[in-house]
Amino acid sequence: MSLIPWKARETGLDLFEDIDDIQREMNRLFGPAMLRPGKKGNGGTFWAPAVDVIDEKDTIRVRADLPGMKKEEIEVSVDNDVLTIKGEKQEEKEVKEKDYIRSERYCGSFHRSFTLPSGVDAQKVNANYKDGVLEITLPKREDARPKQVKVEIK
């Protein structure tokens, strides 16, 4: 955490300057550093797969991009209405004869969790992994599915 030096203000409270200071700090914390590919270091790299969550009539469908992973390296679980996808992508063995000019391929562990609507039937969750895309189908319980009721106009 960086210290911000105190400075006296001649005009008293300057709301816009305070908001500008907060915006600058938020941009520093959550700006490009959060979007950059992970850097190698003590903890390996941090990465999170891109995920789409689609609400359909009878199901919730989740698609996650996990290129280059084997299905044995991926774990999917549902616990207390929370869907969790986690795994670890292993780094390729280093070859001493090659010098990388640029390396942006991710490796390391990841963990994504999503709170599900209460109407999902966790006992009937189905997952399929093909061509680097994990697709999870979470069926909605019959009582949670939207029903159309015809209302008679009098």
| 5-32 residue pLDDT tens | 776 666 566 667 778 888 888 877 776 5
Please tell me the predicted confidence (pLDDT) of residue 44.
47
In a domain, 33, yes or no: no
Please tell me the predicted confidence (pLDDT) of residue 130.
95
Question: Which tens digits make up the pLDDT trace of 32-88?
Answer: 555 544 444 334 456 788 999 998 888 999 999 998 889 999 999 998 889 999 998
The whole domain housing 140 covers: 51-95+105-144
Domain CATH code at residue 129: 2.60.40.790
Give a three-class secondary structure readout of the chain: CCCCCCCCCCCCCCHHHHHHHHHHHHHHHHCHHHHCCCCCCCCCCCCCCCEEEEECCCEEEEEEECCCCCHHHEEEEEECCEEEEEEEECCCCCCCCCCCCCCCCCCEEEEEEEECCCCECHHHCEEEEECCEEEEEEEECHHHCCCCCCCCCC
Give pTM, 2 decimals.
Answer: 0.61
In a domain, 150, yes or no: no
Question: Which tens digits make up the pLDDT trace of 88-125?
Answer: 887 666 666 777 677 677 778 888 999 988 788 888 99
In a domain, 131, yes or no: yes
In a domain, 22, yes or no: no
Q: How many domains does the chain have?
A: 1
In a domain, 10, yes or no: no
